[in-house]
Structures are given as C-alpha cells and as structure tokens.
Chain A
C-alpha cells in the first residue's frame, strides 16, 4: 500500500471494487439507521470536527426538517424513508483483494466485455485518484507530487483539519444548504468527499480524479466535493462511480461546489455508472445530486461534461453561475436510460456578468421503458450585457415504449442577449443498423457504434483516459435494447 506506486494503488481501488456489481466483503463501521440531531453530532464527533462545522450541519438539518422532497421533476420517485437509512459507513480495514469468481455471472460477462479498463488507462497516464468508499475517502494518490506545486488534493475530512480557513471560506458559498431538499440533507450528514485547491497561476499537470463507491447495504452516500481554482489556474477533474447490485434502492445525494477565479478554468467530467437496477426495475441508486460552479472571476471558464448511464433515478443539473465579466459556461451531456431507468437532467446557465457566454449540448438516448428528460434553464440577468447562449438538445429513441422529454426554460431580462435553441428527436435508423449488419456487425454492436457516433460531440469533450471507458459503457448499457 505504498502511496507512490500508482499501479498498486489503482489495483487496490479498482480490481477490488470496480467490477461494479459485487459487494466487497470488509468489516464496516456503520452507525445505526435514522436521522436526528444526535446522529449528526455523532457523525461530527466520529470525524473529530471543529465546532463551526457541527453548527453548519445542525443549521442545515434544522432547515431540512422544514422541507418536502421536490416533486417537480418528470420522475416517479417512491417515498423514501429517511429514518431507514444509515448515514455513516466506513470501511474498518483496508480493502483486500477480491476474487472475481464471486461476482454474479451475468455481470461478469458484461464487464468482461469492457476489455481495457479505465484503470489501465489511468496507469498509463498517471492520474491522481481519490477513492471514496461508502462515506470515507480511502486514499488519495500523488499528494506529495501535487503539493510541490501547491495543489491541494485531499479528502474533505483532511481538508477540514489541514486547511480549515479555505474550507470555511468556500463551503456552501456556491451551493447553500438552503438551496434545495437534497442539498440541505447533504449539508447535514455529508461524510467525506474531495477537496481541491489550485493556487494562482498553476496549471495542474495531471487529471485529478475521484472514484466513488457505495458498498455497504442500507446506507446512503453523501459526499461533498469542493474545488477552488484561484486566478489564472487550470484543472481537469474526473469523477467516476459504481455500486453493487442490490435489490433495495440506495440513496446518493452529493454536492459539488466549484469556484473559478479570474481567468481560471475548470473542466469537470463525470462518467456516472451507479447501479441502474435490474431489467425489471428492481433496485438501483437514486442519484439526487446538486452540482454548481461559480465563475466568479472575469474571463473564468467552467465546463461540465457528463456521461450518465447508471442509476435507477437521476436528478441532476450541473450549473454555471456566470458572475464574472466574459466568463464562459459549458455543459456537454450524454444521458442514456434503458429498462426502467428515469433521468431528469440538464443544466442552469445564469448569466450575471457582461459578455458572458454559455453552450449547452445535450444528447438523450432512451431505450426500453425508460424516461429521459432534459431540463435546462438559461437565465440572463438585467446587468448581463451581450450574453450569448447556444443550446442544442437532441433525443434518440431506441424503442417505442420509452419517453424523451425536453423542458427548456428561458428567462431573459436583457434585450442584448442572443439565445439560440435547437432541438431534435429521432428514432434509431433501421437502415444504419442493417448496413452494419450487412458488414457482419451484430445489431447490439451496431447500436453501440451508432449511439457513440450520435454522442460523439460530447464524448470528444472527455479526457482521453475516460473516453474509451465511456464508449464501452454506452454500448453495454444499451445491450438488449433493440430487436
């Protein structure tokens, strides 16, 4: 378990739990189910937190108690019993190697097809990884190397201890605990996550990556990510996630906050592959996530790229607040739903500064009996002279039982704004499939190719290391969807 051997670390992180569906058999420290002030004090105490953070949690909890779960999304969300969830689970021991033989054969078959794993790609490129298992950050790699440049990349808990001023200054500054139901819940019970600080003028030389894993049963995962890019800095950040196959649903309610200062740039990429439930819609992760970045500085830039293939239900709108003049926000999304999956995802672009620009490219791909919605808001405030937005929103249907929906909202309060919206909906083209078939390519692979081609504009935005994995995921998540 050497900190400086990336291969070994990646093997640890991944050979054990990346094969997605299985449960890692380790001793876990789980607190009793339920949510109360006492539980929150307990979590805070376990983590040895300072008083100000406990108070932050308690304020969030008090506020959360006054809220109802949001119902406005185009989703059917079963009632969630928040008292039946354990809010803290941590592996007691280090993760031990796990034989693949114990994995469900069907799942194994599926992931054999993955071929080159994300991990191998990472090995080649030396990405710094933070692995979060259940509630606790297992290990952060390359810390020393990054520290030489003044880059801070560590678990959230460590950041609270080692960099309290930075955390205090930025925590909740973009996503207030009052933002929404799940943000309040997360603020009350969040257990860990990642913290990134890029100092002035530093281009982070490697991709930073957090790998999230839910393992324990009956637990929720509530991590927080806070990224601060100081003036003239740059960072590309990747997030991956998987969970075991379980019959019951598990809740994942995360917060990602990003602050981008003058002329800084942050690229945030997600390949979301939480367990989606089985073919009948049983089990799967409820992925209710609040992600938002503040382009605080002039000429700052924030770019979200997401490939969403997992989760039973996804509720997620990575957004950009374009406060700085000339700041730029981008959102590139591929959301795939199959079987009984539901996704309501999109973005908000809030133009506040002058000459701010935003681009939205959303590719929704629906199969089976799934429901896939794009929901986006473009808001131009009165002071945002010369704001520009371009939105392209495409839906591809692979079955006649699935649903694709588009909910674009616009709120334009400045006449100089130019806002363009294009949308298309199409069915997968039978002629393309037959053309592939004639060349010897079976329909499932043909669909994989065609869908990847369809999503290429977004896939191209992913860092190389993620793109290969993401392409295979798209293909696999659509297996059995046509025919």
Chain B
C-alpha cells in the first residue's frame, strides 16, 4: 500500500530526511525507533503533507497514487492518518463539530451523503467506547486543556472515527499512564485488520508488548540504518543505540 523510495526532505533549508526507503503492505505493523531528533516525526509530517517541509528528492506511492502530489486533506481522505506526537489545541471548536466536519468531508470525497446528526452521534458514542474516551472530553473544544494522556487517547478516538487504511502513531504511548496505555493500545488492536496497516513510532518496548510489530526499523540521522523483526526492538531496549552507531563506524 505504501512505498517510499529515496525520500529526502528539508525544513527551513536544513536536510532532515536523507534517503528513506520503506515498504508497507496491508495487515502489517511496522515500528520505527531511533534516537531523539533522528527524523521520525519529520517522516510522518512529510508523509501527511505538512507544508512546513519541502521534499527535495524521492517518491511515495500510496495505493498506486503519487502521495506527494495530493493535498494534505486528500491524503487523509485516501486513508492516511497521523496520531500526532503533539496534538494541537483548537479553542472554541467543539470536538463534535470538528469530527462531524472531518467525517463528512471524508464521506463527500467518497461520494457519500453526510451523516445525519443522529447517526453521527451514534457513531461518536460507538467509537468513544473503543478507547473509553469520556463523554465530557468529547463535548469540549478540540484538545483544549486536555491532559497529555487525554490528548493521546483523543487521537486514537479520531483514528477510530476515520477508519484509516494506514495509521502513523507518533509516540502515542508517551503521556499515557499504565492503564491508559493498555486501553489505548487495545483500541488500536481492535481497529487492526487484514486490510489496514500501522506505523508505530516509539522509544519503548512497552507499547510493542501490546501492538506487536512485524518489522522494526531504526531511523538514525534521517536514514533507516537497520531493519529487523520484533527481536530488534527488544535488543534496542536492552542495549540502546550505541552498538548501532558502532556498526556504522561512528564510535
């Protein structure tokens, strides 16, 4: 479904991604790990079309389409979802209004009629249960005054609402308490199917204990320097990144 080839990207003229190659197929879970500042969030921003980033080289194919040629909203409509590392607050805009707009835009793109208010609220209720999101949060302004953990839970709630084909979860585990981690990861698992795929960006094995990856990649200085199976994550947990740097001849 997703094929990234030799992807290079800049922010403010500074090159952050220096040639990424990655292929994701339906049903797979890929974990991306790597030290702070290695470019993980940059990769998710570039894939979702954040205009602050400039792609200088390479291509990304998503279900046969040139992803980079699509507007950010159409990437979303095509089924690409990002759970933000730092979800944004939008004061005065209710979650209900926000999600209703989002869901109906997606339906419009797919040639469907907008959902009626009743059907929409029913859908909200159903999806809230998947991540046990408090009704009080759902009736507040988008992320405004939400705690760190509440924001992350709210991201996965939105993912449930939009039913993406490919989800990128950027450090969704950070900020979640132990119980919340279990619930939110459980929610992600419930949403998993043969048809969709997940890219999990994380620093810790604890999330991967719940969301079992098929592949683990190490992103370092804008490149994927090592890929492997689930055991690679366990090894990183134990040994850190120095041995990889050594392999690269840096230390």
Contact = CB atoms under 8 A, between A and B. Distances in A.
B101 A441 contact: yes
Contact of B71 (A431, A437, A439, A456): A437
Interface in A55-73: none
Contacts of A431: 88
B52 interface: yes
B123 interface: no
A435 B102 CA distance: 11
A435 B90 CA distance: 9
A437 B76 contact: yes
Interface stretch (B17-25, B92-100, B201-209): B92-100
Contacts of B158: 439
By secondary structure, the A interface counts as: helix
Most chain B CB inside 10 Å of its own CB: which residue of A442, A445, A452, A455: A442
Interface residues of B, number: 33
Given A434-B51, A438-B48, A445-B105, A456 B72 contact: no
B101 A435 contact: no
Nearest to A442: B73
A449 B98 contact: yes
B117 to A, nearest CB: 12
A468 B71 CA distance: 29
Interface residues of A, number: 23
A449 B91 CA distance: 10
A430 B75 CA distance: 18
B92 A456 contact: yes
B49 interface: yes
B49 A439 contact: no
Given A445-B101, A453-B93, A434 B72 contact: yes
Contacts of A438: 48, 72-73, 75-76, 81-82, 84
Interface in B51-77: 51-52, 71-73, 75-77
A455 B92 contact: yes
Given A434-B51, A434-B72, A441 B105 contact: yes
Contacts of A452: 92-93
Contact of B76 (A440, A449, A456, A457): A440
Contacts of A453: 90-93, 141
Given A434-B50, A438-B48, A450 B73 contact: no
A449 B48 CA distance: 21
Given A435-B88, A450-B93, A441 B102 contact: yes
A437 B88 contact: no
A452 B82 CA distance: 25
B162 interface: yes
Contact of A440 (B51, B52, B77, B91): B77
A440 B98 contact: no
Contacts of B72: 434, 437-438
Contacts of B77: 440
Contacts of B230: none
Contacts of B142: 435
B186 interface: no
B106 interface: yes
A440 B105 contact: yes
A47 to B, nearest CB: 46
Nearest to B87: A435
B44 to A, nearest CB: 10
Interface in A443-471: 443, 445, 449-450, 452-457
A432 B141 CA distance: 13
Nearest to B82: A438
Interface in B123-180: 141-142, 158, 162
A440 B109 contact: yes
A442 B81 CA distance: 15
Given A445-B101, A453-B141, A435 B76 contact: no
Given A432-B90, A439-B158, A440-B106, A449 B97 contact: yes
Contacts of A441: 73, 98, 101-102, 105
A449 B90 contact: yes
A439 B97 CA distance: 13
B73 A449 contact: no
Most chain A CB inside 10 Å of its own CB: which residue of B89, B90, B106: B90
A457 B92 CA distance: 8
5 contacts: A432-B88, A437-B72, A438-B81, A440-B73, A440-B76
Given A430-B52, A434-B72, 9 more contacts: A432-B89, A435-B84, A436-B98, A438-B73, A439-B76, A440-B76, A440-B109, A445-B105, A449-B101
